Structure 1
């Protein structure tokens, strides 16, 4: 073929543009399309297969037997056509029968054709069909012919969509039935069940027109978009504060290199030359990149290709003018959000009435978005690899975090089973809601204090909804994490005052800011050299606050002013040694004295507590306890520090059990010391919000829990069915002769005793 790829594609696109404008039935258009492509490429066979009811059906052909149309069908992965669709890849064979997946379809009369080339017809990253050409003579199609086919397939996708042969979600329409149901697995971050339509946090750009009317105008639009994108990248990288040196600088340099890559911009220009609009040209090159990504095994190169994917999306948004996240565009119905990752501020932008669940490609148990989602009562499934390839926007989804599963386009049977389980879960929640006004008293008359964890102003409403005794952990850092700039003292004071007033006479324990390390704030510069290899054990929490005492002084004054005329409870996070507690307490006392000297109204009393998260503190508790008004054990960080195991690591997150003898014996020793010193001790962490784990804590003599609001009902039900004395005897006995985990023994004991663990 003497023509260039661009000229070949442009010739075909010009004819297709005229065809698409005609008022013809969809089938007639497809019949015309195969003739246009076959003639332009001088190919004896041109065929179109479309996905229907989960199989690829021959919809139109030039050169094969017409009686095979709507009769020949191939499953995904079956034959050459099925392989192309399943792998979203291009095949170019001089001898079709040489491919291991070749399947002979005698009804088509294709046995006399040797050469074969096929490209996927892609709609929103999903293959919805295949465009194939065949020739009698054994020969590989030239690269320019394959390029032309790929470009035409892109336009064909628009034709099929506009003809309503496929729906907007990327599958087939109701006339052709949806694509088959599937399910994907993930890691449970926030328990719960949800149903709704898939919504992408960064919505995919809908390309309305693929064929250009004016090529030079389209080229100008791309040039302008490149300039704007490069300005954004320069601004973003120059404003980033990571410290000097480190791997991040190489990553940012590579990212900028892609933004200025002449090869990338040249390929987009070539796609415009073929007759595509600016948006379609970018998407055309992006499709080629995705196909290359699927062939790359090297994780480093794969990451680099992801950088290019990210830049392509940015360029596409600029040129199309379709900016903003799904939150800014607004949710229109019950939705399950799909994202690579999210920050807490981004999650809070969504309408809580319509946001039913979140699915992340990344995510961890300790991420702040997970904590915020838990507080919002939004189930989250994390580490769902390639979810954006499995799910299309608008797909109906069922999310069951307990089963670690996301059901995509579920069958009626799956939906009915899900609804039955959800109904049972809702009935259980209704039963728990009835316990709102019931005290958490054990069967043998022991009163347990059950409080909730909070971090947002709206979280205080959980006190009345659950009947909790107070807020055992108010995470003050949330205000910092969701703010674009450092919250001023007056902003902090208003928040703390609002929380205290909403809580009434119920106690609120404010934890001073736990930021730094893996909870970095963009407006707080890091003095350390390079990035921290172990941020959870790095410059964070009280360590950071004592170094940056201006930050802590402002918070201390805001808390003291907010607590005027009340009891103020202040807790310092990540105390490692007694002197750190002493310094933090002295800082607060200095601010109290400063305010008193100016005649300001003060709290009636300030109670100071510490969080035990660093195991080293347990070795000097005898020194610290006489100085404390209360002690809280943070089991989330404590667990990973005790086991030297990052709970955010996929292979370690579930490896070490909270009911291991090591954890329980440690907690027993700490609680016994605190009781002997007459210092109230509480557990504030995810461990206390799980009924079996909470039972173990009660068995250790711990009778103060601070948990997520959703866990209050189940924990109350467990406590009211429990004999505390019997539990203490059982747990002590299990720890005296421990196995690898106490979980099995304790579960069997609870079942025998009739303890409510649902």
Structure 2
């Protein structure tokens, strides 16, 4: 019997039970009998969450006296484990599992096999449906499928019968007093507005289908409507065409037309579910898979699929859509568990001021789109829905990684003051846009900006940067479902150079791999990499996949025809790696020359110094390069052996440590007297205190985030290089207890603002 037929047989029986006048306990008692008989299983049991514990509510095969007596905590025993992890267990020998616990009152000692699935209600596991058998055997896939489908139907029955307290599923009364939440800054910025929930929950009124063919046609029509919506979204983007958001939407569209997804929904309908229940059933399976995915890119793709599932569910149910469909009536901070990029594009940009997510990551597609739209985003906020109510006033400070909910008047006044000061400072920085950053002693400092999206280039004239000291080319690779074609890469690089208007642009060749994995370049070595940051990534990956670097080299050369091309290779650890990468470009130059193609007027090659070993062989590398750029983010974590993403090591990750500053001075000394440009790119150069230290080391070229350009230009105009260089030499010869405090005190004595 197929999974659909098995499930349909069970659902037919459940439908009759649900329609009967029996009390809730009687219905559950009948349900375990129906499931046990249909699957020919000697035991079938239902556990439900009650007062924070999993309680045996009904059983066929175990001792009836154990009902409402046997209880266990979430995470305790096999049942507690599958509920905690929201995972399916299928064991031939239950006792062999490390989480097995024997409960003598149940009389289950004679049963060997065990299969259990979570009962999920409103996205949270609130119980378990288990079957057991005397013989040691794993249950067949068709049986597991039937159990999972049945568990979904049970969740609605249980909810309708009010067998679960609303508190058990996190629907507690939201706080009414002021509150503060913390999270991860995904897109920086500050904003204020009123809370609007992105997605009201769709209520599924009917789970079991009366007519399967009718349900199938409803899904077909919903798919057609959803695809039409997705196809039209790219025309609605408010920040122009040709950006990386179009690559994201192309991947998104691929999911919308995925036959495998629609086939799984059809199979769920075959089992006897309504269209709504079938979509929810497949969505639950997707969520379980997401919990098992470590790859951040694949997890993001699964989020895109869930976004589409939500859209399809709203269409087929005819129920209230997202807040975007209702229109925003005032300044809004959008609240969501997660958000798809297409859904963000549906909101009125004039009213949408910020976004707060329960989940989210720095590489999420929605974050890339939000950054292009200039919308601050705070993510990884735990318990968000238990704190925020619809319409609450929110003061979002993504720069500080926090937000104030229902703020008191003093907090609101302080925020308003900061907001006004921020606007005033931005206005002051804007006045410096066309002012060249000379120090007080007359030395010209180069202040460039970092970029990674085509849309980022609009910041270049706005902030008055000298150019782009680091253009990260990997975003195009990260948001694509397949390796970007050379023609697409060429268009991007040409657009970037055109937008630069003759100002310098340094293209860093693709830095993917490690924690920026892409599925189309997956390898067994990368998947098993225990330390991705120091593994198969960046130039190492590109040299092994020479076709990737070859295509990028051709694209950069063709895009720069008749112009100046600056190419920088990431994560160079030895000179031979630079030589090998440059050889790929040399081959493409020779090919284009043979084809009588126009070449760049000037080509400069450089390297990022982020691997400490490269500092030991600079005498061998310097004659080969036109410039060096110190990547302070990776360099610091490599020097300290301290993962910068680990909060426990935050204190070790100090850019003003004497160890870091002495290391940087050695690099400055090694390049002094040579015709090679030296600069810093990374967060260190964008912080005023750290930038002051870099100036004291003799580094006169900084490539930083666009928002940091104005503050650093302002700082440069306050500094006398001779004074800070002398002070730095003294500190490094005999380091004070706190280099940070010493530099801060020195700056304050001279009225240099380093805040």
Shared fold (TM-score, shorter chain, > 0.5)? yes
CA distance in 1, matches of 2:664, 2:591: 39
User: Are residues 1:568 and 2:536 paired?
Assistant: no
CA distance in 2, matches of 1:321, 1:617: 57
Residues 58-82 of structure 1: CA deviation (Å, up to 9, x unaligned): xxxxxxxxxxxxxxxxxxxxxxxxx
Residues 308-361 of structure 1: CA deviation (Å, up to 9, x unaligned): x99999877655546999799797465445566779999889876555334344
User: Are residues 1:216 and 2:225 paired?
Assistant: no
The aligned length equals 577
CA distance in 2, matches of 1:406, 1:197: 12
Structure-2 change in CA distance of 1:463 and 1:314 (3 Å): closer
CA distance in 1, matches of 2:522, 2:281: 41
CA distance in 2, matches of 1:327, 1:601: 52
- Report the alpha carbon displacement of residue 595 of structure 1 after superposing the two structures with TM: 0.6
The residue matched to 2:525 in structure 1 has which SS?
coil
Residues 389-443 of structure 1: CA deviation (Å, up to 9, x unaligned): 4445665432113443222344555434322321221111111111111111112
Once the two structures are superposed, the pairs formed by residues 127-166 of structure 1 within 5 Å of their partners are 150-151=159-160
User: Are residues 1:436 and 2:433 paired?
Assistant: yes
CA distance in 1, matches of 2:468, 2:342: 22
State which of 684, 694, 705 in structure 1 corresponds to 2:681.
684
Structure-2 change in CA distance of 1:439 and 1:488 (3 Å): same
The residue matched to 2:353 in structure 1 has which SS?
strand
Once the two structures are superposed, the pairs formed by residues 632-711 of structure 1 within 5 Å of their partners are 632-653=629-650, 655-711=652-708
CA distance in 2, matches of 1:550, 1:192: 39
- Report the alpha carbon displacement of residue 384 of structure 1 after superposing the two structures with TM: 2.1
Aligned to 1:100: none
CA distance in 1, matches of 2:710, 2:51: 46
Residue ranges of structure 2 left out of the alignment (5+ in a row): 1-12, 28-48, 58-119, 125-154, 224-260, 293-298
Larger deviation: 574-583 or 735-744? Answer: 735-744
Decide whether the 8 Å contact of 1:509 with 1:570 is kept in 2.
Answer: yes
CA distance in 1, matches of 2:161, 2:282: 13
State which of 598, 601, 604 in structure 2 corresponds to 1:601.
598
CA distance in 2, matches of 1:400, 1:479: 29
Structure-2 change in CA distance of 1:640 and 1:705 (3 Å): same
- Report the alpha carbon displacement of residue 667 of structure 1 after superposing the two structures with TM: 1.1
The residue matched to 1:357 in structure 2 has which SS?
strand
- Report the alpha carbon displacement of residue 636 of structure 1 after superposing the two structures with TM: 1.3
Aligned to 2:376: 379
Once the two structures are superposed, the pairs formed by residues 21-170 of structure 1 within 5 Å of their partners are 150-151=159-160
Q: TM-score, normalised by structure 2?
A: 0.64
State which of 572, 582, 586 in structure 1 corresponds to 2:583.
586
- Report the alpha carbon displacement of residue 553 of structure 1 after superposing the two structures with TM: 1.2
State which of 522, 532, 535 in structure 2 corresponds to 1:535.
532
Q: TM-score, normalised by structure 1?
A: 0.64
State which of 482, 488, 492 in structure 2 corresponds to 1:495.
492
State which of 422, 427, 438 in structure 1 corresponds to 2:424.
427
Aligned to 1:184: 181
Decide whether the 8 Å contact of 2:449 with 2:703 is kept in 1.
Answer: yes
CA distance in 2, matches of 1:706, 1:371: 20
The residue matched to 2:396 in structure 1 has which SS?
strand
Structure-2 change in CA distance of 1:341 and 1:451 (3 Å): farther
Aligned to 1:206: 202
Aligned to 1:736: 733
CA distance in 2, matches of 1:613, 1:684: 10
- Report the alpha carbon displacement of residue 506 of structure 1 after superposing the two structures with TM: 1.0
- Report the alpha carbon displacement of residue 186 of structure 1 after superposing the two structures with TM: 2.1
User: Are residues 1:617 and 2:614 paired?
Assistant: yes
Decide whether the 8 Å contact of 1:364 with 1:648 is kept in 2.
Answer: no
The residue matched to 2:490 in structure 1 has which SS?
helix
Larger deviation: 469-478 or 656-665? Answer: 656-665
- Report the alpha carbon displacement of residue 647 of structure 1 after superposing the two structures with TM: 1.8
CA distance in 2, matches of 1:518, 1:477: 12
Structure-2 change in CA distance of 1:679 and 1:347 (3 Å): farther
Decide whether the 8 Å contact of 1:361 with 1:384 is kept in 2.
Answer: yes
Structure-2 change in CA distance of 1:366 and 1:691 (3 Å): farther
Structure-2 change in CA distance of 1:284 and 1:552 (3 Å): closer
Aligned to 2:510: 513
Residue ranges of structure 1 left out of the alignment (5+ in a row): 14-36, 42-83, 93-121, 127-145, 158-169, 230-255, 294-298, 301-305
Structure-2 change in CA distance of 1:602 and 1:406 (3 Å): same
Decide whether the 8 Å contact of 1:364 with 1:382 is kept in 2.
Answer: yes
